[in-house]
Structure 1
């Protein structure tokens, strides 16, 4: 690339009379640690670091062109724009060859279910001779490679590079979680989504979005911008929306794309009826386009029925036949840390789940109550430096649906875990619950009290293999703790 191509890609560049045709650019970058010769450095104003303050460092490392919002005095040409986040997205698409236009792209947003749906869609695609990558909470996955991620949805440059790697590896599709933070911050700009899925909207992330209306606005951007790529257009677009969620209904008029709705309450283009949940699987009838398809799956719970309906809609939108999708669903084992059963010889049903919102926890506990033959222990906490208003609500859910709530630490981060638990329980009365600050001790307590046919739910961390105390990550895996306990007892 040369400087003029960069300038043209940005379109709305403030007056710059410099001839940039001689400026060579080999890569686009916003991290000075990755700047090499002939880099175009984009100055991003971050929460901690302002990239404009690092422009001289970038030039010293070989940057030949700077993109900025603020006035700079550096030894190389500067292109000034109003929004460097948007510029980064535009240039990332240019630098990587617009890879999303070469993939069947599925974006999934909502409070709960994103990880499960992206994995289910990828499994169905793979089972039908497509090859799908994943970008999400647990990792990014390209073929057999799993790449650690810092955020559910990476920045626009990282995402475009991941998509380019998928194209280079011969993949045909990508399923991607689109978090509310990423949507409002423009991290998914320039991605040519073919299918957008909405799961639900319940209380979460209000420490960032402040109100549910702002939270909804962030989620709605995936649908209002469906088809927002900076490259060629032409692929059919489809929105798959949970009609049983009140916010889902509000999304329908916000998108110009075709819409498939799904639900379990008698409405929707895709419906589930006659749902039967056991401790080893779920069955139901799927209604679509006048046909009834019996579905038997290994995944457990009404919330997973919703996830399957969403995945069905997405895969149908990508061109798969209904019968082929149903056959593939029966083979899916589930997702790590999502209602994950931990086998043991005690006859206790031990479950590790990521439920960390009031709605998520309620859904999981309601599912457990459908098959539980004995007592239900619920080990749960709340994360530090996150929305404090949901803490007493989480406790109320555990008190309502579990016979033995055990309140403990989650990821306390920079907060006092004892104070977090107090905020969860100070409004409660009686002796139905216990408080145990150390998470390992709390898990072992619940397992020690549980008898044959009892259920122990360990909620909040799911797939995570760490606990954040202060600003440090310590190794901690709920499944490992459960296995260690049963191995010793």
Structure 2
């Protein structure tokens, strides 16, 4: 592809317009002959320090935010926002991409919503994929991926690969980091959703306002005009009011779901042994009863958000209710209110990814209706090291809603695990402290009586524990099943 097809004409002298580009990268180690190298300014490294290395490896052109005088005659494009241009160029270079791409942002619920969208599309016989924390799950085969929102060079390759295999419908998790770092710039979405909002990632964003503004860029900058905007009423009044204003400016349909939702309204929930019965109305029409074989109000909200996002404009009541009837065929999301099994005496054990104060509160509130009068709700959790430490006491306080709370280690990374636990316990001193995660799980399982529920929270689907720069094998689901000799199947 010629450089002129990638770079705006105002940034590129005529003499360089016909330069052929064979690949795009911001990593000098990946550069091959004919590559377009983006010298990005990062928090730890400055890409301009690697320009000469990229040139020596055969780079055909350079994009930089800073002036640079190379030793060779090579196109140097100076861009005010090189990261943004990297996204634009990456998606152009890998075209064509799938026709239908929906994005979901939010503090909690992105992964479940994206997976529910994929499942609903598949139930409607559409080849589809979800991209996010669980990697890439597609009708045509899964692809491992390490980041919730991959870098644009990698994401563009994934999207093109999926297109070639016949996948035209994509549900994409849009993380706040990915949005701030322009990983999605260059894509336009045919619908966008906001699953929830609460404190998180302040180690990176510094303030809740900056964190919210990062998420709002999805709706302000990357949404097609007239494309639906959908949000859970759990996002709160501030977020909903802001989204409604953005939707009005874009002449978009603004859809809310959940309790008092204007699109899908949850009127009543009956907890069941195999999930929950939902009474839902569509745009104030006569409600219907549907079965969702997954517990938790938050998962009902995520499933409804998924449905709202795939409903086209001018959806009829019949079409909306036919879509909701597919809920009975939805499968649980790994590590999200996932039933690990039951103990020999009948206590239920769940695995959940809850790692924020809001998520801990939600999982407790969602599972409590499934308890009998004599049942107790246990929660076991920790907090990640080298992340927002200010939320730790708030997580402890949220866990006080359970009957018994056990504080243990999560991913301590490079921090002292004991200090992390102490900071959590400052929010709820009555919690039980057990250092080793395996030991804590084993202890919790031994305390369970027949009508109790245990939630093992924080790590969800993860298969490792990050300790001092190493990822040690650890799986909450398998540990619980082995330590508790859990029975699995339909209960």
Q: Structure 2 length normalisation: TM-score? A: 0.92
Correspondence list, 1:413-428, <5 A = 413-426=413-426, 428=428
**What's 1:54 paired with?**
50
Correspondence list, 1:63-212, <5 A = 63-74=59-70, 75=72, 76-99=74-97, 102-212=98-208
**What's 1:231 paired with?**
none
**What's 1:254 paired with?**
246
Q: Deviations over 1:352-394 (max 9, x none)?
A: 0001111111111112211223222211111111111111111
What is the total number of aligned residue pairs between the two structures?
474
Deviation at 1:486, TM superposition (A): 2.6
Deviation at 1:180, TM superposition (A): 1.0
**What's 1:280 paired with?**
274
CA distance in 1, matches of 2:226, 2:210: 29
**What's 1:483 paired with?**
481
Q: Secondary structure at the residue paired with 1:146? A: coil
Change (3 A) 1:337 1:108: same
Deviation at 1:327, TM superposition (A): 2.8
Superposition RMSD on alpha carbons, in Å? 2.0
Specify every segment of 5 or more residues in structure 1 that has no aligned partner in the other structure, as ranges: 229-234
Q: Secondary structure at the residue paired with 2:280? A: strand
**What's 1:328 paired with?**
326
Correspondence list, 1:350-361, <5 A = 350-361=349-360
Q: Deviations over 1:303-326 (max 9, x none)?
A: 112112201101213879324312
Q: Secondary structure at the residue paired with 1:330? A: helix
Deviation at 1:55, TM superposition (A): 1.3
Deviation at 1:485, TM superposition (A): 0.8
CA distance in 1, matches of 2:394, 2:327: 34
Deviation at 1:106, TM superposition (A): 0.8
Q: Is the 8 A contact 1:238 1:257 kept in 2?
A: no
CA distance in 2, matches of 1:345, 1:419: 32
**What's 1:407 paired with?**
407
The answer to which of 203-212 and 318-327 deviates more is 318-327
Deviation at 1:488, TM superposition (A): 9.6
Deviation at 1:222, TM superposition (A): 0.9
**What's 1:238 paired with?**
228
Change (3 A) 1:174 1:264: closer
Q: Deviations over 1:193-249 (max 9, x none)?
A: 001001111111111122221111111111112436xxxxxx851111223522122
Change (3 A) 1:49 1:257: farther
Q: Is the 8 A contact 2:395 2:427 kept in 1?
A: no
Deviation at 1:146, TM superposition (A): 2.7
**What's 2:456 paired with?**
458
CA distance in 2, matches of 1:307, 1:196: 13
Correspondence list, 1:357-372, <5 A = 357-372=356-371
CA distance in 2, matches of 1:200, 1:227: 19
Change (3 A) 1:189 1:98: farther
Q: Secondary structure at the residue paired with 1:140? A: strand
CA distance in 2, matches of 1:428, 1:176: 36
Specify every segment of 5 or more residues in structure 2 that has no aligned partner in the other structure, as ranges: none
Q: Secondary structure at the residue paired with 2:443? A: helix
Q: Is the 8 A contact 1:394 1:424 kept in 2?
A: yes
Change (3 A) 1:453 1:427: closer
CA distance in 1, matches of 2:240, 2:321: 27
Matched, 1:227 2:223: yes
Q: Secondary structure at the residue paired with 1:63? A: coil
Q: Is the 8 A contact 1:220 1:254 kept in 2?
A: no
Matched, 1:264 2:254: no
Deviation at 1:257, TM superposition (A): 4.4
Matched, 1:19 2:11: no
**What's 2:2 paired with?**
2
Q: Deviations over 1:113-143 (max 9, x none)?
A: 1100100010000111111111101112344
Change (3 A) 1:30 1:202: same
Q: Is the 8 A contact 2:258 2:304 kept in 1?
A: no
Q: Secondary structure at the residue paired with 1:334? A: coil
Deviation at 1:450, TM superposition (A): 1.0
CA distance in 2, matches of 1:166, 1:273: 39
CA distance in 1, matches of 2:89, 2:197: 32
CA distance in 2, matches of 1:488, 1:454: 14
